[in-house]
Amino acid sequence: MSKRHLLFACALAAALLAAGLWWAHGREMRRVRRQFKRLSGWVSKATRERPLSTAYRAQSIGTLFTRPCRLKTHVQTLSGTFTPAEVSRTAAFVRSQFSRLTLRFYDLQITITDKTAAQAVLTARLTGELTNGERVDEAHELRCKLLKVEDAWLFSDCEIVDVLQR
Amino acid sequence: MRVRGHSMEPTYRDGKINFCWRPAYWFSAPQRQDVVIVRMAGRRMVFLKRVVGLPGETVEFRDGRLLVDGQALAEPYVSVRCDWNLPPRRVAQDAVYLVGDNRSVPIERHRFGQASIDRILGAPLF
């Protein structure tokens, strides 16, 4: 094999390795992004949701969180350390207060910090109507940490960022 | 961008369309009484607020009057007087203090406070 061929083979191998790493990195990003999509889908609530769907969604929300996970919000009952079961119970209670609810995520920026950890910054917007008819429209910046546990990305830490600090 | 909410009424009404003028602060810092656009995590959801306090100043509300460094600030853009009270607080050197024009809601329900100057994307075009 000539020197030219050897150089070409090395360059090709390096390019393939870089493409593989890029693909693997992108794959993890997509998997993290999918967890956010799941969370928004399960938290959201349509009018006249069936009881079976309500129970399934509340149960499913808990499966997206690590044991334990930490939440920091402006509401005391939604702040602290929780188990997945407690997250499910809290989510069920919060969802029961709404007749209609939509959670959407915007400007999601994901950083894979190492093989088993990721960080995300995003804006979450919650719109809906309480059972007493009051309308809700809240947007907050969130900072989340996710850990890869048994090949699944789970939320381990979520906190509201105070963009406007009184 | 579309204005959502009532916190800047009557200056900017809910549902109105506007544009962000990005070069507004390329060569100058935000001034008092400027209306600015402040980003959250990105550009898709932003705050529209008015600058009332500059870096290093002290801001407080006393019986609905806004005081900056102890002096009452004239606010011709506020149409509804309020009874807000907020103890004095100093604005950080890299921040400005922002409040909405609509003071008709209770202080607990109005989102205001100091934001880092880095977060200011620009000003509304009109």
What is the pLDDT tens value at each position of chain A, 166 positions in all?
A: 688 888 888 888 888 887 777 777 789 999 999 999 999 999 999 998 999 999 999 999 999 999 999 999 998 889 999 999 999 999 999 999 999 999 999 999 999 999 999 999 999 999 999 999 999 999 999 999 999 999 999 999 999 999 999 9
Distance (Å, rounded) from C-alpha A76 to C-alpha A163? 19
DSSP three-state, residue B27: coil
Specify the CATH architecture of the domain A3-161.
Roll (3.10)
Range(s) of the domain holding residue B70: 20-124
Q: With 80 as the cut, is the pLDDT of residue B50 above it?
A: yes
Residue A103 near residue A137, CB atoms below 8 Å: no
- Does the distance separating the beta carbons of B41 and A122 come in below 8 Å? yes
Using CB atoms within 10 Å of the CB of residue A141, give its burial: 0 to 12 exposed, 13 to 18 middle, 19+ buried. buried
Distance (Å, rounded) from C-alpha B23 to C-alpha B21? 6
Per-residue model confidence (pLDDT) at position A12: 84
A107 touches chain B (CB under 8 A): yes
The amino acid present at B1, given as its one-letter code, is M
Would B8 be classed as within a structural domain? no
B38 touches chain A (CB under 8 A): yes
Instruction: Please state, in angstroms and as integers, the Cα–Cα distance from residue A153 to each residue in A36, A106, B50, following that order.
Output: 10, 19, 40
Would B120 be classed as within a structural domain? yes
Q: How confident is the model at residue B126 (pLDDT cuts 50, 70, 90)?
A: very high
Shortest alpha-carbon distance between residue B42 and chain A (Å)? 5
Would B119 be classed as within a structural domain? yes
Interface test with A, best of B8, B14, B40, B108 (most A CBs within 10 A): B40
Would B6 be classed as within a structural domain? no
Would B12 be classed as within a structural domain? no
Per-residue model confidence (pLDDT) at position A26: 86
Number of domains in chain B: 1
Per-residue model confidence (pLDDT) at position B92: 98
Structural domain boundaries in chain A: 3-161
Instruction: Please state, in angstroms and as integers, the Cα–Cα distance from residue A54 to each residue in A57, A61, A88, A96, following that order.
Output: 5, 11, 11, 9
Per-residue model confidence (pLDDT) at position A21: 74
Q: What rounded mean pLDDT belongs to chain B? A: 96
Phi-psi region of A154 (alpha: psi -120 to 50; beta: other; left: phi over 0): beta
* B123: nearest Cα among B39, B36, B49, B48: B36
- B51-107: pLDDT as tens digits: 999 999 999 999 999 999 999 999 999 999 899 999 999 999 999 999 999 999 999
Find the CATH number of the domain harbouring B53: 2.10.109.10
Q: With 90 as the cut, is the pLDDT of residue B25 above it?
A: yes
Residue A124 near residue A159, CB atoms below 8 Å: no
Nearest CA in chain A to B53: A166
- Does the distance separating the beta carbons of B41 and A164 come in below 8 Å? no
